[in-house]
Amino acid sequence: MMGKLFRVSLFGESHGRGVGVLIEGCPPGLRIDEEYIARELSRRRPGARYTSPRREEDRPEILSGVFRGHTTGAPIVVFVANRDVDSSFYEEIRHTPRPGHADYTARVKYWGFNDYRGGGIFSGRITAGLVAAGAVAKRLLETHGVSVYSYITRIGPVKARVKPRDSEEFRRSIERSPVRCPDPDASRLMEEQLRKTMKEGDSLGGVVETTVFNLPPGLGDPPIDTLDGDLAKALFAIPGLKAVEFGAGFRLASMRGSEANDPWVLKDGRVLTETNNAGGINGGISNGMPLVFRVAFKPTSTIRKPQRTVNLRTGQPAVIVGRGRHDPCIAIRAVPVVEAVTSIVLADHLLRWASWETLRSKILGDV
C-alpha cells in the first residue's frame, strides 16, 4: 500500500481479467468520472510510434466511491478490463526465464503459482492502476495549486536541456514531443536513436525528470517518513525503474559544500533558495522551492535479439527471442506513470500536513 491517509493498492495481471486500483482515504467532493480517468490513461500511449502498437484502449470502470461525478469519501476502485489476448507465447517461456524480467523471481517467490502470462503482476500494464489513482490525486493537488510535470531528459546517449516552468506552454512542449521530451532538438535526436535501435531489434534506457511547482513548505514526516523517502519507495513500484536522485543527486557526491549548499534569500516576502541543488527538500521536508527529482529506467527487457538463459525444467542452456512488438524504451511510456506516482505521494503528504494545519490556530491560541 502506498500512503498513510491517501492510500493506494494495486491489483491485476497482464493477461488475467484486468488491472485496477483501490484508493482509500480520498476526501469527498472531488470531481471524477470515467471520461477523465480514460483521458489520463490514454496519456500512457504518447505518440504511437515509439510505444508498443498493441491495442490498449483502456476503458476504466469506476466500481465504487464515486457518486454523481464526485468522490464520496468511500473507497474508490477503478478497474480496467483486459482485452482477449493470445497468451500462447508465454506458455513457451514458462520454464525459461527471460533476461531482465521477473520471471525467475516470481517463480521462486510464488512457488510456481504465479500467473506468468505477459509477466503477470510484473507487467507494465499494472501501472494503469497507478495512473488512475494519480488522476484522483491530481484533483486533490489542484485544490492547492500544486502542479506536477514529468518529462524525458535522457534516452540512451542523448541528453536534453530542459528549463521547466509552471505553464501550459511547458506542458504542451512535453506532449508535443513523440518521446515526451520538451527539448525539441534532443527530442529529434532521441527519435533517431530509437529508430536505429528498433531496427537492430534492441532497446534503450532513459531518464525521467519531474518538477513540482507550488508545493507548500512543510510536507514530510521525519525522522523516517521523509518526503523524499516516501517518493522513492513509491517510484520503485514502477517496473524497470532502477534509480532515483533528488536535486543535484549523484552530482552532489563530486561537489563541495560551498557549491552544493543553496543560499537562502528573501524575495517578495517569500523565503527561497538561490540555487536548488537540494531539489526542494531539506531534512526530508519540502522547503517551498520546486521539487525536482530524476529516475532512471533500464532499457526494455524484451528485445528481438537472441538472449541466453536456461530452461529451469531441463537444466539446459536456452536462447530466447522476444516476439511481438514492444516499446523500444519504457521510459517514454513511464512518463505519465511517474507523474501519477508523484501525485499520489504528494496527495498523501498534503493530507498529513493538513491534519496539523487544522489544529494550528487552536493550539497556538493555547501557547
* Interaction residues for its own copies, span 151-210 (CB under 8 A): 154-157, 197, 202-207
CA–CA separation, 160 and 177 (whole Å): 12
Residue from 48, 257, 268, 313 touching its own copies (CB under 8 A): that is 257
Q: Between 29 and 172, whose beta carbon lies closer to its own copies?
A: 29
Q: What angle do CA 291, 10, 208 make, to 5 degrees?
A: 35
Q: Residues binding its own copies: what is the number (CB under 8 A)?
A: 164
Q: Which of 319, 330, 329 is nearest to 97 (CA)?
A: 319
Q: Considering the rule CB under 8 A, would residue 274 count as an interface residue with its own copies? A: yes
> Would you say the C-alpha torsion 303, 118, 50, 331 has a positive or negative sign?
negative
Q: Between 81 and 165, whose beta carbon lies closer to its own copies?
A: 81
Cβ burial 66-100 (10 Å sphere, 16+ → b, else e): beeeebbeeebbbbbebeeeeeeebeebebbbbee
**25: which DSSP letter?**
S
Q: Between 41 and 330, whose beta carbon lies closer to its own copies?
A: 330
Task: Give yes or no for a contact between 92 and 110, defined as CB atoms under 8 angstroms apart.
Answer: no
Within positions 275 to 294, which residues make up the interface with its own copies, using CB under 8 A?
277-279, 281-288
Q: Which amino acid is at 333?
A: R
Q: How many CB atoms sit inside 10 A of residue 319's CB? A: 9
- Written as nine digits, the cell of 117 is 502470462
Q: Between 47 and 218, whose beta carbon lies closer to its own copies?
A: 218
Q: Considering the rule CB under 8 A, would residue 355 count as an interface residue with its own copies? A: yes
Task: Give yes or no for a contact between 141 and 350, defined as CB atoms under 8 angstroms apart.
Answer: yes
Q: Considering the rule CB under 8 A, would residue 321 count as an interface residue with its own copies? A: no
- Written as nine digits, the cell of 3 is 500512503
Choose one: 49-57, 161-169, 179-187, 235-243; the region binding its own copies (CB under 8 A). 235-243
Is residue 49 left, alpha or beta, with left meaning phi > 0 and alpha meaning psi from -120 to 50? Answer: alpha
Residue from 48, 161, 163, 315 touching its own copies (CB under 8 A): that is 315
Q: Considering the rule CB under 8 A, would residue 85 count as an interface residue with its own copies? A: no
As measured in angstroms, the least distance from the Cβ of 358 to its own copies is: 4
Residue from 51, 147, 226, 276 touching its own copies (CB under 8 A): that is 226
As measured in angstroms, the least distance from the Cβ of 164 to its own copies is: 19
Residue from 35, 57, 89, 99 touching its own copies (CB under 8 A): that is 99
Residue from 34, 111, 188, 336 touching its own copies (CB under 8 A): that is 111
Which residue has 510505444 as its cell numbers? 51
Within positions 12 to 71, which residues make up the interface with its own copies, using CB under 8 A?
12-13, 16-20, 22, 24-25, 27-31, 61-65, 67, 70-71
CA–CA separation, 253 and 347 (whole Å): 31
Q: Considering the rule CB under 8 A, would residue 110 count as an interface residue with its own copies? A: yes
Residue from 59, 83, 184, 255 touching its own copies (CB under 8 A): that is 255
As measured in angstroms, the least distance from the Cβ of 33 to its own copies is: 14
Q: Between 24 and 175, whose beta carbon lies closer to its own copies?
A: 24
Task: Give yes or no for a contact between 139 and 344, defined as CB atoms under 8 angstroms apart.
Answer: no
Q: Between 43 and 326, whose beta carbon lies closer to its own copies?
A: 326
